[in-house]
Amino acid sequence: MDNQFLLDLHTHSTASDGKLSPAALVRAAAAKGISTLAITDHDTISGLAEAELEAQKLRLRLIHGVEIEINWQEFPPISTNFQAGAEDSGGMRREFHLLGLGIDRPTTEFLKLMEELRESRENRNLMIVKKMRELGLPCDLDEIYALSGTSFIGRPHFAEYLVQKKVVRNVESAFKKFLAKGECLFIPRRGADFERSLRLIKDSGGISVLAHPTTLYVSWGHMPGILQKLREAGLDGLEAWHPITTVHESRRLLSLAQPLGLCITAGSDFHGEGRRDRTLGLSSGNTKITSSLCDFSPLAGALDTFDGSLRELIAALVERVAVVPPHPVPTEGK
């Protein structure tokens, strides 16, 4: 066996909008032979303690992560460049999501940001409920919470509720008719400030990675300038490998990131088996996520500033040391 190992640096549990509990997500990763897993729930780190206990039992390296929604309309290099030349995305929701990997010592201010984002989400949800009632649509907030099975509710849960109430046939129809940008139930939620988020991730022991860059929906001609501005502001990395990105696009992102000294990550954005386009351990073009897809060499010089599992991962990726997964990698046909 060579020195490659299996990993997944972008997953979600029931602490946000995933279908598996944090412990169950760790078990599912271990069963697939994944030796390094990042749990990156939306705007919360509440599931990490449970996940860590399970990871220690299974000898799996858990990267403490988070995914933060950024209010990128207020970031001039992006909004200006989009208006200047990027083609309209046909109504698709433009997103700027920031992964924080290695949140091993969350600061008081970081936790305050998580609380602010939770309140923002809850306020948005109440506004959606109000609109649903104004439109005469069925709406019981307690039932939606019960459907989610968690204290976290997002637009996918409203979509599932509308399917359950037979208002629409499937989740895709719910978004297209009600919840997508520009539709009657779409209410924008204020995200976090970009530079503040960068600072709080760093202060909490982590690195910042631009998640699924193609959801910025900017033209490829403007992408290099945008990435350069983000890098100058303090961005550490780029999630070049993601299921919504083709292999060709991933390689193109890789070629843009390397000259800027951005590290490269890969993830499945796994939420649960219900989403056929997101499979644990697989990324762009159903490519298996091995350590060969990731490049953390730009962080090598700062290795001693990191803690725990993130430090171990950076060392393994930078030094290309032989890391034998504690779980046997499944072989074909078994």
> pLDDT value at position 94?
72
Residue 326 lies in a domain: no
The residue from 179, 202, 221 where one domain ends is 179
> pLDDT value at position 189?
80
CB 226 within 8 A of CB 213: no
Q: Do 88 and 216 fall into the same domain?
A: yes
Residue 331 lies in a domain: no
Question: Which residue ranges in the chain fall short of pLDDT 70?
Answer: 1-2, 73-93, 274-275, 320-334
Half-sphere exposure of 55 (CA within 13 A, CB side): 24
Report the CATH number that the domain containing residue 199 is assigned in CATH: 3.20.20.140
> pLDDT value at position 73?
66
What is the pTM for the complete model shown? 0.86
Tokens matching residue 33: 């032979």
Residue 332 lies in a domain: no
Residue 186 lies in a domain: no
Residue 222 lies in a domain: yes
Contacts of 215 (CB under 8 A, 6+ apart): 93, 94, 95, 96, 97, 244
Tokens matching residue 165: 């109430």
Q: Do 262 and 315 fall into the same domain?
A: yes
Q: Do 271 and 140 fall into the same domain?
A: no
> pLDDT value at position 78?
52
Q: Do 263 and 293 fall into the same domain?
A: yes
CA of residue 290 relative to chain centroid, distance? 18
The residue from 128, 150, 179 where one domain ends is 179
Q: Do 226 and 83 fall into the same domain?
A: yes
Contacts of 108 (CB under 8 A, 6+ apart): none
Q: Do 160 and 228 fall into the same domain?
A: no
Q: Do 96 and 229 fall into the same domain?
A: yes
Q: Do 282 and 221 fall into the same domain?
A: yes
Residue 79 lies in a domain: yes
Written as one string, the DSSP assignment of 14-81 is: TTTT-SS-HHHHHHHHHHTT--EEEE--BT--TTHHHHHHHHHHHT-EEEEEEEEEB-GGG-HHHHHH
Report the CATH number that the domain containing residue 132 is assigned in CATH: 1.10.150
Tokens matching residue 137: 């649509």
Q: Do 279 and 224 fall into the same domain?
A: yes
Q: Do 281 and 158 fall into the same domain?
A: no
Written as one string, the DSSP assignment of 100-128 is: EE---S--HHHHHHHHHHHHHHHHHHHHH
> pLDDT value at position 325?
40
Range of the domain at 167: 114-179
Q: How many independent structural domains does the chain possess? A: 2
b/e per residue 81-97 (b: at least 16 CB within 10 A): bbeeebeeeeeeebebb
Residue 327 lies in a domain: no
CA of residue 100 relative to chain centroid, distance? 9
The residue from 179, 204, 221 where one domain ends is 179
Tokens matching residue 108: 């008081």
Q: Do 103 and 122 fall into the same domain?
A: no
Residue 124 lies in a domain: yes
Q: Do 90 and 223 fall into the same domain?
A: yes
> pLDDT value at position 8?
98
Half-sphere exposure of 238 (CA within 13 A, CB side): 28
Distance from C-alpha of 45 to C-alpha of 49, rounded to nearest angstrom: 8
